Amino acid sequence: MSVLQQFVDAVIAAPSTYTAMDRIYVTNHVLALVGEGPCATTTSNDLDSLVTALVQTAIQNNQIEETPSAKEILSDQLMDLVTPLPSVVNQTFWDKYQVSPETATNYFYQLSQANDYVKTKAIAKNVVFNTATDFGDLEITINLSKPEKDPKAIAAARNQPENGYPLCQLCMENEGYVGRLGYPARSNHRIIRLTVNGEPWGFQYSPYAYFNEHSIFLDAVHRPMVIDRQTFINLLEIIKQFPHYFVGSNADLPIVGGSMLSHEHYQGGHHVFPMMKAPIVKSVDLGVAGVTAGIVKWPMSTLRLSSPDATALVNAATKVHNVWKDYSDESVDVRAYTDSTRHHTTTPIARKVGDQYVLDLVLRDNQTSSEFPDGIFHPHQDVQHIKKENIGLIEVMGRAILPARLKVELSEVAKYLLGRHNHMVAMHQPWADALQAKYEFNDDNVTTILDREVGHVFARVLADAGVFKWNDTGLAAFDRFVTAVKNTSSN
């Protein structure tokens, strides 16, 4: 049986819109995409292998160029054939939701993996390990899943007209969008429609997931991210609908925010992060009835608020956030404004624990200075050889997303530490020399030690991003802030 026939069989068998009566139609649709020449062969009949063979067939038939962008677009067009229509996916999701929210998300996540929207094979390439620190086990990942930018696509995209459609990669208009040079293919993309506090929102999974069931909740309207009272209402509303997930928001300012501030969205999923396991070391009084709160033992300055009453929790979070926006303490370099430029915001993370709604509020400050031009509360220069990018929501919670360059660079560091010929990047030299003075390296321990030390650098990265340092001076400053919150009347 040919690859074409096998793929058509898979389309008919899939819970998509096609039946046996549609076989000729589907066959001709695939031929239009890949050409009518001989099919490439494959020794496996799994869906990914069949699609790969059909993409190769299209290259042989001169239907597409052999570039990453062209192959991605065609691959997703083929996977779209085994994916139910958005209306069918939504109907099935909400039918299963009547059984339980987890039944519904299990269905949608399995579908998103089966149709290769969630790139499970690529994600499996990531390097993942844990490191024990004073703040618990941190999760370290070296992100190898996202493909490198296609140079030909970058060059060609420069000559393409900007059509502004979709406005960004989070817009609802991405659902089923074929893609273009320099813009990802989304033919097999599906979005669950839901209502959040009376407004239309979408729910999808992240194609290059950083953790289990990495979800994105997105505003149906393209508008900038904002952290305010409505944010806390929205997060808790989502938790009410999906109590087995956490959901959090990146901050709404550059440097301390995420990579996409132009479209209101949150991230969530089925994962317990290191920060969530961190204990409260000091209970505090925020002056809001029905809400318990405490300082979390975490390198980034975090208040944990809990209550069975979502409204009371929103009131307390709003109070903390509003006080922090205007709060300064020059003794620890905390300044709310420079002239009229605001520097303070929060990174909020919501979850349900038993009958309690729990909201972690991480205090953020995006000031820069001549000494720290990248950010006073940002990874400092001596640790940027490991991590210099923004510390966003996922890293705030204790899971490092480290750049792909480190896989090769750390192997060269290992050679250097073992006294072998190497091409170690110069920026790693001070760190490597410090490690060499600290340990006796051999083939059996070099990888284990390097992994552990990378984790310790990440702990330092988080400490750099913390506004109140984990020392007597910083904790006293944290206490002063909490007192300011308590003494401020709620609006």
d(CA 310, CA 241): 13
Q: What is the pLDDT of residues 267-276, one digit of tens each?
A: 999 999 999 9
Instruction: Find the mean pLDDT for residues 52-66.
Output: 95
- The pLDDT assigned to 154 comes to 47
- The last residue of a domain, from among 64, 86, 107: 64
Report which DSSP code applies to 42. Answer: -
Q: Is residue 372 part of a domain?
A: yes
d(CA 332, CA 12): 64
Report which DSSP code applies to 330. Answer: G
pLDDT band with cut points at 50, 70 and 90 for residue 181: confident
- The last residue of a domain, from among 48, 64, 80: 64
Q: Is residue 249 part of a domain?
A: yes
- The pLDDT assigned to 164 comes to 82
Q: Is residue 412 part of a domain?
A: no
Terminal-to-terminal C-alpha distance of the chain: 71
Q: Is residue 256 part of a domain?
A: yes
pTM: 0.93
Give the β-pairing of 265-269 and 280-284: unpaired
SS3 (DSSP) at 224: coil
- The last residue of a domain, from among 14, 32, 64: 64
d(CA 57, CA 39): 5
What's the domain count of the chain?
Answer: 2
Q: Among residues 228, 255, 173, which one has the least CA distance to residue 346?
A: 228
Q: What residues contact residue 166 under an 8 Å CB cut-off, 6+ apart?
A: 173, 174, 177
Q: Is residue 435 part of a domain?
A: no
pLDDT band with cut points at 50, 70 and 90 for residue 160: low
Q: Is residue 360 part of a domain?
A: yes
Q: Is residue 217 part of a domain?
A: no
Q: Could you tell me the residue range of the domain that residue 303 belongs to?
A: 222-230+243-377+470-491
Q: Is residue 128 part of a domain?
A: no
